[in-house]
Structure 1
Amino acid sequence: MPIKIDRNLPAKQILEQENIFVMDEDRAVSQDIRPLKIAILNLMPLKQQTETQLLRMLSNTPLQVEVTLLTPKSYKAKNTPEEHMSSFYTTFDSVKDHKYDGFIITGAPVENMAFEDVIYWKELTEIMDWTRKHVTSTFHICWGAQAGLYHHYGIRKVPLDRKMFGVFKHHVVVEHHNLLRGFDHEFMAPHSRHTTVLAEDIIAHPELELLSVSPEAGVYIAMSKDGKQVFVTGHSEYDPLTLYQEYMRDKEKGLPIDIPKNYFPQNDPSLTPESTWKSHAHLLYANWLNYYVYQVTPYLIDTVGDD
């Protein structure tokens, strides 16, 4: 799929080296089709890394996608150059009068805080409320999934005794579900989090459906029954080395951190890990874009949310 992004975005060169088709404005306007408009609210600290990972995931269909990168106005990024933020990001105020086919809310390193204590929580709740009428379907990742489940459905997060950290085996709960189309019954996916949500809370809610769980990592994928809200508690978008980078970061800071499970060959951090979740990750995003965005979004984007 051609991803339409700013020609100067650093991710563009990386994706082109991977033979992923990206285009800039000049090429996009020559195609007589309406691109899907996807906004990404990037709450991760290493924003350039997350941009590249998510754009890679959005590349695996024949659809043209136009991406808008958003950042909270109530929080200033500390780990990304200000020049990058001012060049490629905008805030909710500048887009709140627009409509979007899809919206992605990333994870954030604030899991151990109460939701209400997060500096941008009020702004985030305003954005999440806005997505109900301005977005066809919203995809929530990790802490973003916990925040969405809490705000929209009152599902509380639960602290873990130890960080859920590694690559874990999952299984499909609902056979033949469109979001899981093409999945093996068992598949791998990474997790990196200190809190969780409970399967029984998802199952008990009449508007939610539990789609995938892990015997060790717990709830993985849940979804609103109308398809407008998708919740993924892990990080299927991660690169092969992302967990390694997080592990080394915490070790260097002297933080208590276990070796990520099921990740390093022979459980040896000196050996280079390989991705065991890439095919599942691409399927997950392709299915979301196809069945819950493209197939249901109106051709006239200004009519999103009018039903």
Structure 2
Amino acid sequence: MPIRIPENLPAQNVLTQENIFVMDLARAGEQDIRPMEVGILNLMPNKIETEIQILRLLSNTPLQINIDLIRIDDQVPKNTPQSHMDDFYQPFSQIKAKQYDGLIITGAPLGFKAYEDVTYWTQIQEIFDWAQINVQSTLYLCWAAHAAMYHFHGVVRDIRPTKLSGIFEHAVLAPTNELMRGFDPYFFAPHSRFGNIPEAVYAKTPGIEVLAAGSECGAYICATTDKRQVFVTGHPEYDADTLLQEYIRDSAQSSETAIPVNYFKADDPSQEILVRWRSHGTLLYTNWLNYYVYQVTPYDLTTLPKHSYSI
């Protein structure tokens, strides 16, 4: 089944060329089912690239999904045309009266900033709390995962002395959890961050289970036992060359930039990229949509259970 995205969104041409079924609003209206309602709060600088990456992972499901692209009010994009934001994104103030089956909050390049120093921290806190009332399950990625742990549980992340960048091996720690269904016992996924929360901190936080972790990168996938919150500390959505582009960008700023680990063949930037994470990234999103959203969300979203995890 397709994902329904705004008409003329640049991602549509890319996904169509990849033989991914997308449809516009008019055609979606002819479908006699209740589609899943999924919002994407995109905090990444290059929003068009991130849209394509996430929409690609959401597409591998038999469910019809309506997508809303959401932005924080009054935030001016630095790397995305304002016209794109005006045409395809809805300010949070305009959708806050709506309920969603699922919400994805992306990472953001804010690794060194204290949360309170983030210009839109107050708005993010409002969205976090709003989601606990109006969303069945929220998927927090990278920076958003750490920010949610701070907001809801008072957990302050550590700042690593060097950036965690590369493709790391993870072990499935909870093989019977539906989010891990179909995963190999060991799998790879990209990370790109300075922030870190020790695995033991997640494990001792009430109501949270560590589902997958790596010896080098620590906790990777954690979730609340009620399936309402999923914390993913890496970037399963990354394209093959995303870490390469980050490495080129960072190298231009510092000659001491480390080569992403396990990313290039023989860890040599002149050699090919080893792509080893796509299947598990797709499976993670498919399982989230099926078992954490579709299987448990009410038909009438106005009857969503109300939860609050704030400290």
Superposed pair shares fold, TM > 0.5: yes
Partner secondary structure for residue 234 of structure 2: coil
In the aligned structure 1, how far is the partner of 2:102 from the partner of 2:149?
A: 18
- Post-superposition offset of 1:30: 1.1
The one-character-per-residue Cα deviations of 1:180-214 (angstroms, maximum 9, x if unpaired) are 00000000000000111111111111211111110
Decide whether the 8 Å contact of 1:40 with 1:103 is kept in 2. Answer: yes
- 1:269 maps onto 2:269 in alignment: yes
Matches within 5 A, 1:111-190: 111-190=111-190
In the aligned structure 2, how far is the partner of 1:87 from the partner of 1:197?
A: 37
In the aligned structure 1, how far is the partner of 2:12 from the partner of 2:22?
A: 7
1:66–1:255 Cα change, 3 Å: farther
Match of 1:254 in 2: 254
Match of 2:194 in 1: 194
Match of 1:31 in 2: 31
1:255–1:89 Cα change, 3 Å: farther
Structure 2 residue identity aligned to 1:178: E
Decide whether the 8 Å contact of 2:132 with 2:306 is kept in 1. Answer: no
Matches within 5 A, 1:76-87: 76-87=76-87
Partner secondary structure for residue 160 of structure 1: strand
Partner secondary structure for residue 104 of structure 2: strand
Matches within 5 A, 1:92-103: 92-103=92-103
Match of 1:105 in 2: 105
Alignment root-mean-square deviation, CA: 1.2
- Post-superposition offset of 1:256: 3.8
Partner secondary structure for residue 292 of structure 1: helix
- Post-superposition offset of 1:272: 3.0
- 1:55 maps onto 2:28 in alignment: no
In the aligned structure 2, how far is the partner of 1:250 from the partner of 1:214?
A: 25
- Post-superposition offset of 1:74: 4.2
Partner secondary structure for residue 226 of structure 1: coil
In the aligned structure 2, how far is the partner of 1:206 from the partner of 1:6?
A: 39
Structure 1 gaps, min length 5: none
Number of residue-to-residue matches in the alignment: 307
The worse-fitting range, judged by mean Cα deviation, of 202-211 and 184-193 is: 202-211
Decide whether the 8 Å contact of 1:250 with 1:256 is kept in 2. Answer: no
The one-character-per-residue Cα deviations of 1:206-240 (angstroms, maximum 9, x if unpaired) are 21111111000111011111110000000001011
The worse-fitting range, judged by mean Cα deviation, of 267-276 and 238-247 is: 267-276
Identity across matched positions, percent = 50
The worse-fitting range, judged by mean Cα deviation, of 11-20 and 68-77 is: 68-77
- Post-superposition offset of 1:156: 1.6
In the aligned structure 2, how far is the partner of 1:149 from the partner of 1:210?
A: 13
In the aligned structure 1, how far is the partner of 2:141 from the partner of 2:305?
A: 22
Structure 2 gaps, min length 5: none
In the aligned structure 2, how far is the partner of 1:66 from the partner of 1:91?
A: 17
Structure 1 residue identity aligned to 2:228: K
Under a length normalisation based on structure 2, what TM-score does the superposition of the two structures give? 0.96
Under a length normalisation based on structure 1, what TM-score does the superposition of the two structures give? 0.98
Decide whether the 8 Å contact of 1:164 with 1:192 is kept in 2. Answer: yes
Structure 1 residue identity aligned to 2:72: P
- 1:67 maps onto 2:67 in alignment: yes
In the aligned structure 2, how far is the partner of 1:256 from the partner of 1:14?
A: 35
Partner secondary structure for residue 257 of structure 2: coil
